[in-house]
Structure 1
Amino acid sequence: MMVQVSRAGDVRTPDVTFTPNPGSAPTLPPTHISSNLVSIAHIFSHSPRLPPHLNCNTQQVASSHHTLLPPGKMAPRLPRAVTSTAAYFLVNPSTAAAGRAASLRLYSAQAEPLIRVANLPAGGTSGHIRVLELNRASARNAISKGLLAALRAEVDAIHAQYGPSGEEHPAATSAQGGPTRALVIASAVDSCFCAGADLKERRGFTQEETNEFLTNLRATFASLADLPIPTISAISSIALGGGLELALSTHFRVLSSNATVGLPETRLGILPGAGGTHRLPALIGLGRARDLILTGRRVAAPEAYFLGIADRLVEVVPEDERDADNNSMLPLARKAALSEAVRLAQEICEGGPVAIRAALQAVAWARPEKENEMYERVVATEDRNEALKAFQEKRKPVFKGR
């Protein structure tokens, strides 16, 4: 198989290792948040090192290469899009801390953690890149009360590291091996990023519980979208309904070429209710968003890249057309998408942490007053002085985030 990446540039990143992350999130049952020390393995010889469960057969990608495709160019010889006949709906847990903990105990009986967690070094600065892998294989990562509670706990833990203006809280980060500089949300399940809702769980909800869940799902996604650090979704295979709305809540989306995304809610008699009707138009424009939402149609990865839903397209092309429908492609696609997402996070983290957070705010506001405010914030920082000194000394700056 051949792996190609459509992205702005092809920056080689240094080798990195995983580090343990004890105490890096609010205490949760061990069956829901994994914080084990993991060993290291390559996906690509020049890509970030990843833990064993993310490793793929390096012989399959020994001849892999990355090329840049212009926006709109379709990937050749793409495998058939993975499809699902499952229905999708939006469910969510209570936002109260006690309620989230109770949800974890009551709604998840699986032995595996609902979210696999690992920290990667952030590269040119202190801190780490946090990687969250949704891990409900039996339910295709459908959003249950437990899964959403675990995700909310992770988002809350990152928010606790920063103040309202994006300043770091040293006390909140010292126990976590430095602050979280970027967040990657991916899937530990080959066949699906997120299939939307846990309909089986929802059948037991009262109307009051359903309303409460939807309110808290919106709050969780809004909190994710409001994080002061770069956030990236790595999508392979299916991301529909709430799964796509989760990805739309992050700053970037990396798709493998076999991915399929969509908002099928209107075909179920409802509409996207967790941000899809306002985040998608803001991303790709009103006309295109109206098309996707009203038709409820599924969009293959090349079209998603053309529309602007995907920021990076990782092409996984079988060398033999007979392998195009082989499920053996799914693990490679998932790990290739995650590898590119981590690479993107590391590339971003080569910049000054204060500058990155300020730039995110300035772009989000898209107003000259906010740009001026953010520029004034960064121009007097230690990192700015370090960058000037490093430029004079012809070396890479060592940023400290202050």
Structure 2
Amino acid sequence: MIFNASRFSSITNVLRRFVSSEQSLKELIVEPLTGKDSGILILGLNRVKQKNAISKNLLDSLENAIEKVNNDNTVRVVIIRSYVPRVFCAGADLKERLTMTEADVRIFVNRIRKFMTSLENVKAPVISAIDGAALGGGLEMALATDIRVASENAKIGLVETSLAIIPGAGGTQRLPRIIGVARAKELIFTARILSGREAEEFGIVNYCVPTNEENDGAFIKSLQIARLIQKNGPVGVRMSKLAINKGCDTNLNGGCLVEELCYSQVIPTRDRIEGLKAFQEKGNLYTKENNILTRVTM
């Protein structure tokens, strides 16, 4: 697939014009794309003055958005991005945190941790477009997504130890699972901040792309990836994600049993039958299956 930067830039310009009206006042902009991009949903962080710091209100909006995504089988892919220049998410809203009692802090941190797990388990694939700083809870949010793309000017790190605390939204667990225990310990103990390129070298992000004038290079790449996912069978994609997520929580034999259960969900679908026909006829893959999936309990 040839990457046409100008073509994608025109799309992001349209998105900017759209969110410049009434939606620009919202802390979270939920934008389902249409036309050939139907099935791709954009969640845009938009707390400008607070650099997308996670407050109670923003967390409310994120929780509601994720719940709606899980109840909407037309959503094929989710992209989390920022509409604040040079920032993805600066982490927790520490000014709000100062107003909380110790009991309130425990409750709120537990709530954020629970949300990150919900984000990780969204049925559809989720991509983080990191066009700027993703620090503390901002990086923890990205770690809970399936694919991460960063621009070269991104600043990425779990910096909590510099504030005399620890990552509390799953960072101490997800980072070592992604890059290995030794490297995760180094980054967390030192509170080191990485560039986008360094984060790619560490294996934290899947891709690092050049920073462009519009500061949306990571989003453009994320949209390109989302389109590749969107054209595939939605039931197969969702079941693949479930098999990987649940299988990685157990040993190989247990994981293969998870795979067996997930495969059983795609056998009766029209997607599978039409996909086999398309392969035989060298045609296009059938991707219109939107029936409610059978719940798999594991």
Equivalent position of 1:301 in the other structure:
196
Shift of 1:54: 3.9
Q: Bigger relative contact order, structure 1 or 2, given CA contacts below 8 A and separation 6+?
A: 1
Cα 1:237–1:46 change in 2 (3 A) is closer
Equivalent position of 2:238 in the other structure:
357
Residue 382 of structure 1 pairs with residue 270 of structure 2: yes
2:39 and 2:230 in contact (8 A); partners too: no
TM-superposition CA deviations, 1:107-164 (whole Å, max 9, x none): xxx971101221124859xx51110110011111111111111111101111233xxx
Residue 332 of structure 1 pairs with residue 214 of structure 2: yes
Shift of 1:397: 2.1
Counterparts of 2:24 and 2:95, CA distance in 1: 19
Equivalent position of 1:322 in the other structure:
none
Residue 232 of structure 1 pairs with residue 120 of structure 2: no
Equivalent position of 1:19 in the other structure:
none
Cα 1:226–1:48 change in 2 (3 A) is farther
1:238 and 1:261 in contact (8 A); partners too: yes
Residue 342 of structure 1 pairs with residue 255 of structure 2: no
Instruction: Tell me which of 152, 155, 159 is aligned to 2:66.
Output: 155
Equivalent position of 2:40 in the other structure:
129
1:266 and 1:294 in contact (8 A); partners too: yes
2:29 and 2:44 in contact (8 A); partners too: yes
Counterparts of 1:235 and 1:185, CA distance in 2: 8
Moved over 6 A (4+): none
Counterparts of 1:204 and 1:362, CA distance in 2: 42
TM-superposition CA deviations, 1:154-205 (whole Å, max 9, x none): 01111233xxxxxx5xxxxxxxxxx211111000011211111212222221
1:184 and 1:341 in contact (8 A); partners too: yes
The structure that is helix-richer by fraction is 2
Equivalent position of 1:113 in the other structure:
26
Residue 283 of structure 1 pairs with residue 188 of structure 2: no
Instruction: Tell me which of 267, 271, 283 is aligned to 1:395.
Output: 283
Cα 1:117–1:389 change in 2 (3 A) is same
Q: TM-score by structure 1 length?
A: 0.65
Cα 1:48–1:385 change in 2 (3 A) is farther
Cα 1:250–1:45 change in 2 (3 A) is same
Q: Output aligned runs, 1:79-228, within 5 Å.
A: 112-121=25-34, 123=36, 128-161=39-72, 168=73, 179-228=74-123
Equivalent position of 1:323 in the other structure:
none
Cα 1:258–1:395 change in 2 (3 A) is same
- Describe the SS at the equivalent of 1:139: coil
Counterparts of 1:377 and 1:156, CA distance in 2: 22
Counterparts of 1:272 and 1:291, CA distance in 2: 14
Residue 49 of structure 1 pairs with residue 3 of structure 2: no
Counterparts of 1:54 and 1:182, CA distance in 2: 20
Gaps of 5+ in 1: 1-10, 14-41, 56-109, 162-167, 169-178, 317-328
Q: TM-score by structure 2 length?
A: 0.87
2:86 and 2:154 in contact (8 A); partners too: no
TM-superposition CA deviations, 1:315-348 (whole Å, max 9, x none): 23xxxxxxxxxxxx5x523x22111111111111
Gaps of 5+ in 2: 18-22, 249-254, 292-298
Shift of 1:377: 2.1
Letter in 1 for 2:81: A
Counterparts of 2:236 and 2:225, CA distance in 1: 17
Equivalent position of 1:176 in the other structure:
none
Identity over aligned pairs, percent: 38
2:81 and 2:88 in contact (8 A); partners too: yes
Counterparts of 2:284 and 2:128, CA distance in 1: 28
Counterparts of 2:31 and 2:169, CA distance in 1: 27
Cα 1:122–1:183 change in 2 (3 A) is farther
Cα 1:290–1:145 change in 2 (3 A) is same
Cα 1:350–1:382 change in 2 (3 A) is same
Shift of 1:369: 1.1
Shift of 1:362: 1.5
Larger radius of gyration: 1
Residue 368 of structure 1 pairs with residue 267 of structure 2: no
Cα 1:54–1:256 change in 2 (3 A) is farther
- Describe the SS at the equivalent of 2:129: strand
Kindly report the root-mean-square deviation, in angstroms, between the aligned alpha carbons of the 2 structures: 2.2
Cα 1:12–1:47 change in 2 (3 A) is farther
